Every structure is written in structure tokens, then in C-alpha cells.
A and B are shown apart, each in its own frame.
Chain A
Amino acid sequence: MRIWNEEAECQPRAERAEEQTRNLERLVNRVYDDLPYYRTKMDEAGLRPAHIRSLRDLSKLPFTTKEDMRANYPYGLFAVPLCDVVRIHSSSGTTGRPTVVGYTRRDLEIWAEVCARFITAAGVGSDDVAQVSFGYGLFTGAFGLHYGLERVGATVVPASSGNTARQLLVMHDFGVTTLVCTPSYACHLAEAAEQQGLAGKLKLRTGLFGAESWTDQMRQDLEAKLGIAATDNYGLSEVIGPGVAGECLEARNGMHIAEDHFLCEIINPDTLEPVEMGETGELVITTLTKEAVPIIRYRTRDITRLDPEPCACGRTTIKMHRVVGRSDDMLVVRGTNVFPSQVESVLLEFEDTEPHYLIVLRREGHLDTMEVQVEVSDALFSDRMTDLRTLERALLDRLRSVLGIKVALRLVEPQTLARSEGKAKRVLDLRDGGAQS
């Protein structure tokens, strides 16, 4: 199997650590000098750049959270002037304000490079025709994979998201060998292909799946139905987008982290202390090389563990395992991030008391569905049926526009939604492997 950048990916670990240390020192100096946000945070912690001398010193640095990014919306964490920024991406916001990230030309180079690494590790190269079925837009998924695939010389088909019939037509007629999308959308495509009698007529051999967590069962289903090797990759827009880590075909047991660019730690989300290597906790990432929006100790809220064992593929980079949960209440529905607080903010537009609601997630076939059950309070209720229907429509419109996904709505009687220990249960996740919170 090919390795895209043997020098970086198979570098002796001690040598890599030296480079990481140098880059960390440079990063800390830079953000302290250029970004008031980091300088203030470090000053408050009594830290000077000179205090950061080794990778162990990393844990002295303050965390950065999504809230911090939002508070500095839109450009407060940009470390370069906008004339040096050549691209903007952003992620969905919980209450309207998204988090915004920028890329310099060199950031885009690095992004394509790290994507090329996991694309190559999945066995995809210049002989492949790759269909990118992520939505092209502010979301980082499509563009990250797009340029990474071009970098390895694959023939890129930018199909974007939606319109399953057209996706299958393109997949069949263009001789697509590599499918890029969320695992749940891949399952949906696999079923639609079966129904249309396309099973066995497709040239697919590899799936590059990301942007949501999935199970071994889903992987086996996808591999059987589509006749592919299904691989996992990881990334998030605050850090770069896809390309932070990805699986190698040889082991397919954990995702190799592009450690020369992303320094990963696992912390206990309650104590905020680093855990022992191999223990499960929250992933925290520091960007070592990013220019436009360097970020120190970003709390991803993703729960996973690191694996330092040598890998059969020959890469020396450590691996991160599949994300098994969240340390906040974020939900991923069809690859879109959803926070219960978004639903709450919509309901508050309609009534001024604390709304009672329950988000029910189901997997129908292979697609996630989201239903919002809303208790009809006296304020929402009317004796006129037309008023209730108008309310339903208005709520649905607002929910769809704020969440950016299709949702169903059900009006329910008060107190039908369970209240536990004074704190209402907001989410009922009935999907495989779904967590209840």
C-alpha cells in the first residue's frame, strides 16, 4: 500500500516530537504577540510564551472552546489580515452565530496534503473516480475531500448532496469507484441502488466516510451491499475540516492522526486534566501549523481514545479511535450538528415561558429522522383548529431553517414528556448505538 508522505507519516517518533515542540513554541509566541484573545488568556493564567518549552507544557495552556470562537465572531481569532485569507468556511451555530474559520493559501495547501494522506491510506489514488456527495458550501466536508482527491490525482465528481436518483445515475454512468459522504447517506444510497437493480453493476470499491459516528454493523452492511472497503476519517472545521485523521486499509482499526500538524490530547471532561495514554476522554486539538486561525487546545467535545501501538501499515503516527460520544449535548443528524438549545431558541420565539419539548431520533431504513415533540402550553393553544395548524407550520418552518435539516413536529399534551430529577429529558435517541441524555 502506498503512503502519501512517507517522510512525515513514518518519521521516527522522537524526531517528530522535536519538530512538534519547535512548532508549538513558535505557535505560542505568535498567538501571544498577534492575538489579544490568547494574550489575555495567557496573562490571566500567569503564562508567558517562555514557559512553554516542551510538549508536556502543553497542558499549562488554557483551553479554547466553541463559545470562545463564537464570542470572537466573525474574525476575532484570525491571526492574519483578510487580504492573506483566501477561503472562509464555517460550522452551524447553536443560536444563529456560526463559528467562522479562514484559510491562507498555505493552510489550503496543508489541508489538501492531510486529506491526501488519509485518502491514500484508504487505497484511493489516480486510478479512481471519486464522487463527493457532501454538500458544497460553508461546510468543510466537500471542499476538504475535493482538493485532497485532486491532490492524489483522482478524478473528482463534485456531485454535492441530495437527489439520490441523480447520485446513482452519476455513480453508475461515470464508473465511480470511490464514494465520499456520511455513512448514513451511503446506507441510503446502497438501499436505493439495490431497489433499482444496480447492485453488482457499480464499480465502487472504496468508501471514504465521515462527519458522523457509525457502528461496525453499519460498516459491515455497507461493505456487503456496495462491495467496498468502507473507511472512516475525522476532522472538524474549527481545526481544519476533514484530514485530522483517517484509517489505513491495512489495519482499519483507528485513524492515523496527522501529528505534524495537529497535536492531540485526551482530557477528562470533568476535571479537565489529561488522562493516561489509551484512556477514553475528550479529544483536545492544537493546530501546529495553521496560519489564518491557529487554535490552542480546542475542546472538540468528542469522546474517544488514542492508540500509540505500532501499526501494520508502517506509519508511526498515533491513532485515534472512533468517536463514541460527546461531552456536551450535541447531536449529529444526517451529518448535521444539532444542539437541543437550537430547538429551545425556536420555541422561545413562540412562547415566553420555558418550553417543554423532546427530540426523538430514529433511524428509518438507514436514514436518521428527527421529531420534535412540543408540549402545547396555554400560551400556544387556541380553540381554533386553523390557529393550531398555522402554529405547526410556523414552528416547522423555523425549526427547519434554524437546524438546516428536515424535522417532523408533533404537538403533545403537557406532562406527557418525562421530567426526571427536575431536569427535563430533552433527547430520546432510538438509533443504533445512540446515546440518551
Chain B
Amino acid sequence: MTVRQLSVFVENKKGRLADVAETLASARVSIRALSLADDPDYGIVRLVVDQPDNALAVLRANGHTVKESEVIAVGAQDRPGSLARVLRALADADIDVDYMYATLVPGKPDVYVILRTHDNPSAMEALAAAGVPILRAQDVYEA
């Protein structure tokens, strides 16, 4: 199963990222994983949060452009070679990774790797066949 990710458009201006973080804080939304893609003029903040609906509503209410998309979260041991195994499985199945980011899970020797591919069902099939654990959305939100 996939995990809901929220992407927010931010201009490269002072305080814009802080504004996004404060908006989420005001709604008591906790960020599970985050990445920032940047261009000279603007950036895309990608977030996995504990309360996607709540976060989406509060971000939109504050005038942000938000896009929701489905991403895959896989669990990997925090040790050399585990990420390589994930990516090799996808490469062998001819799956393109649009982008990915990782986050440490508090209190566990685990890393969550968030993946956005052009074909999520095939990606999950390939990962499962390679024995890579795919996380349930609820487990990520409640981590």
C-alpha cells in the first residue's frame, strides 16, 4: 500500500519554509519525513505527516498550493547495503525513481525510505519479490 505525501509550492523568499512549518505546527501536525527540491526561484517541500487530511486543510486554508500524491515507504535496516538492495530491485524491474528521501525512525534501528516512482504498483511488486518490507501508511503516520 502507498503512503499519502503532500507537496507544497514555496517561492525562494525569506520565511516561506518557516511559514509552512508554522502552519503545520499550529494544527498540531507532526512531520514524519520531509524533503526539499529546489530551483533558483522556487522549491517543492514534500512531506509525509501524521495527519494528512488535517495538514492538507490547514495548508490550503493558509493559501498554499498543495498537491497530494501516493508514495511508497519501505523499511530498511540502518546499515551499509540496505538501500542498495532496494534500488537494485527497482532497477532490475525497470522502474524509474522520480525522487526519494529517507528518514530515521525514532527509537528504532530503522530507516524509512520514501520513493516516488512512475509506476507504484509494479514498484511494490518488485520490492515485495526482493523481500523489501513495504510499510503500511498507518505505521508511517503513527511512527
A: residues with CB less than 8 A from B are 375-378, 380-386, 388-389, 410-416
- Is A385 a contact partner of B39 (Cβ separation < 8 A)? yes
- Is A381 a contact partner of B99 (Cβ separation < 8 A)? no
The 8 Å CB contact of B44, one of A375, A377, A383, A412, is A383
- Is B65 a contact partner of A385 (Cβ separation < 8 A)? no
Assembled-state Cα–Cα distance A144/B35 (Å):
59
Task: Known pairs A382-B67, A384-B116, A411-B9; list 12 more (Cβ under 8 Å).
Answer: A375-B65, A376-B65, A378-B66, A378-B67, A381-B66, A382-B7, A383-B116, A384-B99, A388-B44, A410-B41, A413-B65, A414-B63
Residues on B with C-beta less than 8 A from A377 are: 65
Assembled-state Cα–Cα distance A410/B98 (Å):
24
Q: Tell me the minimal C-beta distance from A154 to chain B in angstroms.
A: 48
- Is B63 a contact partner of A415 (Cβ separation < 8 A)? yes
User: How many chain B residues have a CB neighbour from A under 8 Å?
Assistant: 21
Residues on B with C-beta less than 8 A from A384 are: 98-99, 116
The 8 Å CB contact of B11, one of A382, A383, A412, is A412
The 3 lowest CB-CB distance pairs between A and B, nearest first, are A383-B7, A415-B63, A385-B37
A384-B98, A389-B39 known; A413 and B63 CB under 8 Å? Answer: yes
| Binding site secondary structure of chain B | strand
B: residues with CB less than 8 A from A are 5, 7, 9-11, 16, 37, 39, 41-42, 44, 46, 63-67, 69, 98-99, 116
- Is A385 a contact partner of B44 (Cβ separation < 8 A)? yes
- Is A416 a contact partner of B11 (Cβ separation < 8 A)? yes
Closest A-chain residue to B11, C-beta based?
A: A413
Assembled-state Cα–Cα distance A129/B42 (Å):
51
Assembled-state Cα–Cα distance A414/B8 (Å):
11
- Is B5 a contact partner of A383 (Cβ separation < 8 A)? yes
- Is B67 a contact partner of A383 (Cβ separation < 8 A)? yes
Closest B-chain residue to A415, C-beta based?
A: B63
Residues on A with C-beta less than 8 A from B5 are: 383
- Is B9 a contact partner of A381 (Cβ separation < 8 A)? yes
> What are 18 A-B pairs with beta-carbon distances under 8 A?
A376-B42, A376-B65, A378-B65, A381-B67, A383-B7, A383-B69, A383-B116, A385-B37, A388-B39, A388-B42, A388-B44, A410-B41, A412-B11, A413-B10, A414-B63, A414-B65, A415-B63, A416-B11
- Is B64 a contact partner of A413 (Cβ separation < 8 A)? yes
Residues on A with C-beta less than 8 A from B67 are: 378, 381-383
Assembled-state Cα–Cα distance A263/B67 (Å):
58
Closest B-chain residue to A409, C-beta based?
A: B41
- Is A381 a contact partner of B116 (Cβ separation < 8 A)? no
Closest A-chain residue to B19, C-beta based?
A: A413
Q: Most chain-B CB neighbours within 10 Å: which of A380, A383, A386, A388? A: A383
Closest A-chain residue to B118, C-beta based?
A: A384
Residues on A with C-beta less than 8 A from B16 are: 413
Assembled-state Cα–Cα distance A380/B10 (Å):
14
Assembled-state Cα–Cα distance A413/B17 (Å):
12
A376-B9, A381-B9, A383-B46 known; A414 and B64 CB under 8 Å? Answer: yes
Assembled-state Cα–Cα distance A375/B64 (Å):
11
Q: Tell me the minimal C-beta distance from B25 to chain A in angstroms.
A: 19
Residues on A with C-beta less than 8 A from B69 are: 383
Closest B-chain residue to A385, C-beta based?
A: B37
Assembled-state Cα–Cα distance A138/B37 (Å):
45
Residues on A with C-beta less than 8 A from B7 are: 381-383
Q: Tell me the minimal C-beta distance from B51 to chain A in angstroms.
A: 19
Residues on A with C-beta less than 8 A from B65 are: 375-378, 380-381, 413-414
Assembled-state Cα–Cα distance A48/B90 (Å):
81
Q: Tell me the minimal C-beta distance from A184 to chain B in angstroms.
A: 27
